[in-house]
Amino acid sequence: MTYLTAIGGYFLMIKNVFRRPTKWSILKDLIFKEIEDLIYNSMGIVIFISFFVGGVVAIQTALNIDNPLIPKYLVGFATRQSVILEFAPTFTSIIMAGKMGSYITSSIGTMRVTEQIDALEVMGVNSINYLVLPKIIALMLYPFVVATSMFLGIVGGWAASVYGGYSNSADFIFGLQDEFIPFHVTYAFIKTILFAFILATIPSYHGYFMRGGALEVGKASTTAFVWTSIAIILVNYLTTQLLLG
């Protein structure tokens, strides 16, 4: 029953996000701040992880196709498929559930503990719209983060293959181009937009409705990360079944 109550409260929060909107002059500044906090400040870790995980995917693929009958260009093919279909949109989003989600939950939860949210309500401000909508709008730029992850993952795979001696550049690039299906990129970005909405709203829900003090803010951040990750995995399964199944 507790889970059903939480799910109902989450969807009611989504409904209230779009009611009584904050003035654009105020909302604009909030959106730019969220873009800096959520998108720009996340690029460093995404760049680092994407490059090296792409390299690891390429190396592991090369080590598992040591049969001389298997063409070397499959290293590039497997790296492209792994990075575009799953690693960049899904694995990156789970990492961001920890980084972005913890930040969102803790920042809103701290406002709840210090009664800043109550002050907004007293002033007649729709606090849910004020706090959550800028995050949703800012994270509509999240596909740019995933696109960067795709590019750097493939570059990392190329660098590991060529400089590690597992494949030459021509074979790797041929594998990248072989049997390329453009819809796979579209599929990845569809998932990314859904993940972005999850990343903005589930941590916001746990931060907004938390009760207690500083200790509970930490617990809410952990809970938000768990449920955001679960939601991402479920949505990933459903979108894959619907779009590729």
Tell whether 16 is covered by a domain: no
Give the span between the Cα atoms of 180 and 190, in whole angstroms: 18
> Does residue 222 sit within a domain?
yes
- Residue range 83-101: average pLDDT? 92
Confidence band, pLDDT 50/70/90 cuts, at residue 64: confident
Asked if residue 215 belongs to a domain, the reply is yes
The whole-number average pLDDT for the span 218-236 is 93
Task: Choose among 133, 134, 108: nearest CA to 204.
Answer: 108
Closest alpha carbon to 66 in 165, 163, 160: 165
Is 9 a domain residue?
Answer: no
Range of the domain at 149: 23-243
- Reply yes or no on whether the pLDDT at 1 is more than 70: no
Q: Within 10 A of 119 (CB to CB), how many other CB atoms are there?
A: 12
Mean pLDDT (whole number) for 222-229: 93
Contact 135, 39 (CB under 8 A): no
pLDDT at 231 over 80: yes
Q: Which of 97, 111, 127 is nearest to 214 (CA)?
A: 111
Contact residues for 161 (Cβ-Cβ < 8 A; gap 6+): 58, 59, 62, 75, 76, 79, 167, 172
Mean pLDDT of the chain: 90
Under 8 Å between Cβ of 57 and 157: yes
Q: What is the pLDDT of residue 122?
A: 87
Q: Domain count of the chain? A: 1
In a domain, 18, yes or no: no
pLDDT, residue 26, reads 87
CB-based burial of residue 97 (10 Å sphere; 0-12 exposed, 13-18 middle, 19+ buried)? buried
Nearest CA to 237 among 179, 194, 176, 183? 194
pLDDT of 36 higher than 70: yes
**pLDDT category, 21, cuts 50, 70, 90?**
confident
Query: How far is the C-alpha of 180 from the C-alpha of 73, rounded, in Å?
Result: 13
Q: Confidence band (pLDDT; 50, 70, 90) for 108?
A: very high
pLDDT for residue 195:
96
Residue 75 belongs to a domain: yes
Nearest CA among 131, 142, 139 for reference residue 17: 131
Check pLDDT > 90 for residue 63: no
Whether 33 is covered by a domain: the verdict is yes
Q: For every residue of the chain, which 3-state class applies, written as one string?
A: CHHHHHHHHHHHHHHHHCCCCCCHHHHHHHHHHHHHHHHHHHHHHHHHHHHHHHHHHHHHHHHCCCCCCCCCCHHHHHHHHHHHHHHHHHHHHHHHHHHHHHHHHHHHHHHHHCCHHHHHHHCCCCHHHHHHHHHHHHHHHHHHHHHHHHHHHHHHHHHHHHHCCCCCHHHHHHHHHCCCCCHHHHHHHHHHHHHHHHHHHHHHHHHHCCCCCHHHHHHHHHHHHHHHHHHHHHHHHHHHHHHCC
Look at residue 3 and tell me if it is in a domain. no
- The alpha carbon of residue 60 and the mean position of all alpha carbons in its chain are separated, in whole angstroms, by 25
